[in-house]
Amino acid sequence: MNLRKRLQSISVSDFGLVSMILAILLTISVLGLPLTERIFLERTGAEGRATLRLAVASLQATIDRFEPLPALIAERPLVAAALGNPQSASTIAALNSSLERTAQELGASDIYVMDREGLTIATSNHALERSFLGRSFTFRPYFTEALDGVLGRFFALGTTSGQRGYYFGAPVWSEGRVIGVVALKFTLDGFEAAWRRSQSDILVVDQAGVVFMASRQGWQLRTMGELATEDRAQIVRTRQYPLDRLLPLRQVREEIATDYALVRIDDGGFGAYYVTSTIAMEAVGWRAVILTPAGPRALSALMLFVATVVVLGLLIMQLIQRRARLRADQEAQRQLQDLLERRVAERTTDLDRANANLRKEIEERKGAEQRLRKTQTELVQAGKLAALGQMSAALSHEINQPLAAVKTYAENAGTFLDRDRLPEARENVSRISKLADRMAAISAHLRNFARRPQDDVGPVEVQQSIDDALALMQARLKETKGSVIYDRPAEPVWVYGGQLRLQQVIVNLLSNALDAVEGQRAPKIELVLDDQDVDRVRIVVRDEGDGFDEDALAQLFDPFFTTKAPGKGLGLGLSISYNIVEDFGGRLHARNREDGGAEFSVDLRRAEAADAEDQVPSSGIAAE
C-alpha cells in the first residue's frame, strides 16, 4: 500500500537527517578533540609542574644543607695538622676517625681530605675496602676549584664506588694559602626512590644534557640529545660519567604552552607520550624535568568526550525517531481522513445520482398519472357514451312502447269522444299524460348522463341518486323480469359526492349485477343503504350470480378488464366507478358472498344536511 511506502520514505529521509547529525557530531568530535586534549594536557602539565616544584625544592634543600659543611670541616685544626704533617700516623688516624664520625652524623656518603697534589690523606671510609686513602682526585673539578680557593661542586659517578654522588670541595686555608681540600660526597638515591612512588617520572639533567638523576632507572645517565664535543671532552677529562652509558633518549617535542610540552619518548618498544615541564635549578646549573604519561589521561578524556557525543547523538536520534513516528502517524491519519472524505464524496455523488433518478422517476410517474387521469376522464366519457349506446336500444323499446300506447290511447279517446263517453275519454287522456311524463323523465336522464360531470364534490342525498339509478334501470329490470330489493330509509342520508356520478356508479353496479344473474328466472338484486355508522355511509349491491374467480377479483377495477362477450362489455364500468368513488373520498370494494354471488360496497363520507346549501331538488331528475 502506498501508506507503507510513505512511511518508508519518511524513515529514509530521517535516516539522512540522522546521518547528517552524526556527521556533524563526528566533525565536532574531530574538531573538538584537540581542544579537549589540550585542556587535559594543560591540566596534567600544571599538576606535574606542582609536583616538580616540590621535588626541586626538596632536592635543593638537601644540597643547600650540605653546601657549607666541607668549609666548616676544613676549618678544623686537625685537618690542617694532618695536612701539615701527613706522616704522623696518629694524626691521620685521629682525622680518619673524626671524618668517619662526622660523615655518619651528617648522613654524607664520604668525607675526605686531599693535599695540594690531590692525594687523599684521610677519609671517612678509611676502614672500607673502597677506601679513598692514597687515591688522587685531581681530575675532578671540585678539587681544582677548591684549590683555586672557591667552593667546588660536582656531580659524578664515583670512580671508586661506582655510585652517583654530589661532591663539594672546600679549600683548607693556612696562613692565607690553600694547603689542601676537604671533599664531601653525598648520594641522591633516596630522592629517586621517593620519585618512583609518583605517577610521573622526574629527571634531573645537567648542563651538558646528561640525565644524572631519574626515577626510571633505565633513563639514568642517558642524554637528552647528542652531546656537544667540548662537553664530551670535559666528561672524559673529569671522568664524570662512563661514556659508553651516555646514550641519547630519543624524543620528539611539541610545545603545548609556555610551561608545558608534549614529548614522545622512543625508548625501545612503543613510544609513549608525556606531558613534560621543566624547572631550572640555577644555583647548581641543572634543570629538573617531569614527565607525566599523557596517554591514559588523554584516552580517558577522549573516551569521556566520545561518550558524551554518543549519548548526545543517541538522544538526538531518539528525538528524530519520535518525530518521524509522529509524522508517520499524522500522515496515516491524514490519508485515512482523505479516504473517508473521498468515500463520503463518492457516496454523496451516488446519493445525488439516485436522488436525481428518483426525481426523474417521480416526474415521469406524475406525467404518467396525468396522462392516465386524462385518459380516465376521457374513458369516463367514453364509458358513458357506451352505456348510452347500450341503453338506447332499451330506451327505444321503452319509448316505442309508451308511444304505441299513447297512439292507442289517443285513438281510443277519439272514439270515446265520438261516442260521447267522456269519462273514458278523460281516462285515456290522463293515461297519455302519464306516459308522456315518464318519457320526459327518461329523456332527462339521458341528457344528464351524456353531460360531462363537474369535479366538485359536495353533499348529496344518497336516496336521490339511488332513485334515479333505479328509474334508469327500470326498463332492463322489466325486460329480465328482475327485481331490486331495496329498503329505502325515510330520512335523507347525505354524503360527499356528485349526484350524477354517484347515480352512475349505482347504475353500473346494478347493471353488472343484472348481467351476472342473466338467465335466472325472476332474479333478485339486493340494494342496501346502510347509514348506521357516524362517519360513513355504505351502499351495498348483492346478487346471486356466480361471483368472481381469483383472477377476476384481482383485476376487477383495472380498465378494460371484462369477461363479457365482445360488444357486450367494455371493461370500463368498474374502473370508472372506482375512480369516481375515490374522487368522493370514499372506497369501492368487491367480494364474493359466502352463500354465492357477488357483493359490491360503496363507502362514502357522511355529510351534514346543513352543508347542502345548493342541494338539488329531491323530486325530478337531478342535475349536476
The residue ranges that bind ligand ADP (CB under 6 A) are: 508, 512-513, 516, 543, 545, 547-548, 552, 556, 561-564, 569-575, 598
Nearest to 199 by CA among 354, 44, 361, 408: 44
C-alpha 531/C-alpha 10 separation (Å) is: 86
User: Cβ contacts of residue 442 below 8 Å, gap of 6+?
Assistant: 395, 398, 399, 471, 472
As to burial, measured by CB atoms within 10 angstroms (0-12 exposed, 13-18 middle, 19+ buried), residue 520 is: middle
For residue 122, the cross-strand partners are 113
In the complex, least distance from residue 350 CB atom to ligand ADP, rounded to whole angstroms: 45
C-alpha 90/C-alpha 94 separation (Å) is: 6
The set of cell numbers assigned to 25 is 557530531
In the complex, least distance from residue 579 CB atom to ligand ADP, rounded to whole angstroms: 11
Contact predicate 293/47, CB 8 Å: no
In the complex, least distance from residue 544 CB atom to ligand ADP, rounded to whole angstroms: 10
C-alpha 273/C-alpha 298 separation (Å) is: 10
In the complex, least distance from residue 380 CB atom to ligand ADP, rounded to whole angstroms: 12
In the complex, least distance from residue 464 CB atom to ligand ADP, rounded to whole angstroms: 23
SS3 content of the chain, % helix, strand, coil (to 5): 55, 20, 25
C-alpha 276/C-alpha 252 separation (Å) is: 11
For residue 286, the cross-strand partners are 281
Closer Cβ to ligand ADP, 164 or 476, answer by number: 476
Closer Cβ to ligand ADP, 144 or 504, answer by number: 504
Closer Cβ to ligand ADP, 371 or 591, answer by number: 591
Closer Cβ to ligand ADP, 453 or 573, answer by number: 573
Task: Give 371's Cβ-side CA count (13 Å radius).
Answer: 6
Contact predicate 100/93, CB 8 Å: no
In the complex, least distance from residue 437 CB atom to ligand ADP, rounded to whole angstroms: 31
Closer Cβ to ligand ADP, 298 or 387, answer by number: 387
In the complex, least distance from residue 398 CB atom to ligand ADP, rounded to whole angstroms: 21
Closer Cβ to ligand ADP, 277 or 575, answer by number: 575
Closer Cβ to ligand ADP, 163 or 563, answer by number: 563
Contact predicate 398/473, CB 8 Å: no
Closer Cβ to ligand ADP, 453 or 545, answer by number: 545
| Long-range pairs for 5-11: beta carbons < 8 A, 24 or more residues apart | 6/328, 6/331, 6/335, 7/328, 7/331, 7/332, 10/324, 10/327, 10/328, 10/331, 11/324, 11/328
Q: What is the 3-state secondary structure (H, E, C) of 3-48?
A: HHHHHHHHHHHHHHHHHHHHHHHHHHHHHHHHHHHHHHHHHHHHHH
C-alpha 468/C-alpha 507 separation (Å) is: 9
Closer Cβ to ligand ADP, 191 or 561, answer by number: 561
Closer Cβ to ligand ADP, 192 or 543, answer by number: 543
Closer Cβ to ligand ADP, 33 or 386, answer by number: 386
* Strand (E) or helix (H) holding 367: helix 295-418
Closer Cβ to ligand ADP, 136 or 562, answer by number: 562
In the complex, least distance from residue 395 CB atom to ligand ADP, rounded to whole angstroms: 18
In the complex, least distance from residue 480 CB atom to ligand ADP, rounded to whole angstroms: 14
For residue 210, the cross-strand partners are 223
Give φ, ψ of 265 to 5 degrees: -110, 120
Place of cell 272514439: 415
As to burial, measured by CB atoms within 10 angstroms (0-12 exposed, 13-18 middle, 19+ buried), residue 171 is: buried
In the complex, least distance from residue 382 CB atom to ligand ADP, rounded to whole angstroms: 12
